[in-house]
Amino acid sequence: MNKHQLSKVLEELSEYRGRNTELVSLYIPPGYDIRKMIQFLNSEQSEAQNIKSKNTRKNVVSALEKMERRLKEAGEVPENGVALFAGNVSEQEGRPDIQMWEVEPHEPIESRIYKCDKEFQIEPLQDFLIDKEVYGMICLDKSEAAIGYVRGNHLTVEHTLESKVPGKTTKGGQSQQRFERIRENLYDTFLNQIADKAKKSFLEKAREGELLGLIVGGPGFSKEDLTEKDYLPKELLDKLLTTIGTNYSGEEGLKELLNKSEDIIEESEAIREKKKVNEFLVNLKKENGQSVFGLEDVAKALQMGAVETLLISEDFEKKEAKFECPSCGKKDVKHISEFEAEEEKHPCPECESTMDLIEKEDVLEMFQKKAAQMDSSVMWISRQHEEGERMWKMGGVAAILRYRIR
């Protein structure tokens, strides 16, 4: 299950609320003995007989039975593990509707979780929706520094440092000149320490394309000293978005820096999207054969391994539906919306009889799976800017190619 599908499932699960603790969540990590899990569910059904409320007891047991049956059918835990959610989602009291969802995430589940509550436990899967890409942050002054990164809306502090730079007042009768030299040497050492920690935190991410930008802040001029002198490597300086003045340094300053850079981060992501869409559009204008759009052409380029970057509008949703005519046996494939797929009506191009829908598959899942196989990157494009809206009007799916294919 890709991120787009996972997001839709979690959005649906988050809307359900049980009248009592009758919504069951079960996470099974990869490699777990499925027989032990079946035994566990069986024992939980016995435990559920102690629930006082008759309706709640019945609903919980029914949910657990659904899970147990599914695990027996599966026979083994999938490669990345599996999460099962089951419970009564009926809006009418006394008329239960026991539904179950099965989620095989695109990343491995870390640990076994079992919970029976008034809502489904979806937080562990929500973490999988957070991109690997991060914004690096450094907040410093002459006395302290903190280094961290922002992924999604979450700030992680990786390093905190304290300097040994003394105040400006001399001690012990030292000459002012000698004292200043000592301060300068200690300050230089401190900035080198910050730079070394920054390299450990961000250099590999920058080389892997996971560092979207670097923001440096703090009171005073230390932020300029760090970024304008030969402390940080060029690979990190190339990612520098801005320097920002803050009231605090260290870990507290890092939080302040995040608050002050929200607009810059949002603008940076929009700029990144715009640049890619513009690159796609420029290729089209030049007619150099290195951009394609539309489902059929993009699918062909993916199959050939020619796609460097797959561009997908955030609102894009299509199914690949396979039809067969019951009268003349004609087969046909169409890319249609979910609503059209549910309608299951399609006139035969040969005899005009209504064709039967025999199979449908999510286009995004197909494309993202193929992109992963061909080492193609995928970028989601917002419609909140002119370039994104223009791409949407061109069909919502496009690709920048590694080489010309026609």
Q: What pTM was computed for the model?
A: 0.50
- Which pLDDT value is given to residue 4? 67
What are 281-319's pLDDT values in tens digits? 999 999 899 999 998 899 899 999 999 999 998 888 787
Mean per-residue pLDDT of the chain: 88
d(CA 67, CA 86): 7
Say if residues 370 and 302 touch (Cβ distance below 8 Å): yes
Say if residues 24 and 64 touch (Cβ distance below 8 Å): yes
- Which pLDDT value is given to residue 319? 78
The CATH superfamily holding the domain 3-129 is eRF1 domain 1 (3.30.960.10)
pLDDT, mean of residues 103-113: 88
CATH 3.30.420.60-classified regions of the chain: 134-260
- Which pLDDT value is given to residue 398? 95
Residue 368 has pLDDT above 90, yes or no: no
CATH 3.30.1330.30-classified regions of the chain: 273-401
- Which pLDDT value is given to residue 35? 93
- Spacing of C-alpha 68 from chain mean position: 30
For the ranges 165-174, 248-257, 310-319, which has the lowest average pLDDT? Answer: 165-174
- Which pLDDT value is given to residue 341? 47
Say if residues 260 and 217 touch (Cβ distance below 8 Å): yes
SS3 28: strand
CATH architecture of 134-260: 2-Layer Sandwich (3.30)
DSSP string, 116-176: EESS---HHHHGGGS-S-EEEEEEE-SSEEEEEEEETTEEEEEEEEE-----SS--TT--H
Say if residues 149 and 201 touch (Cβ distance below 8 Å): yes
The CATH superfamily holding the domain 273-401 is Ribosomal protein L30/S12 (3.30.1330.30)
CATH 3.30.960.10-classified regions of the chain: 3-129
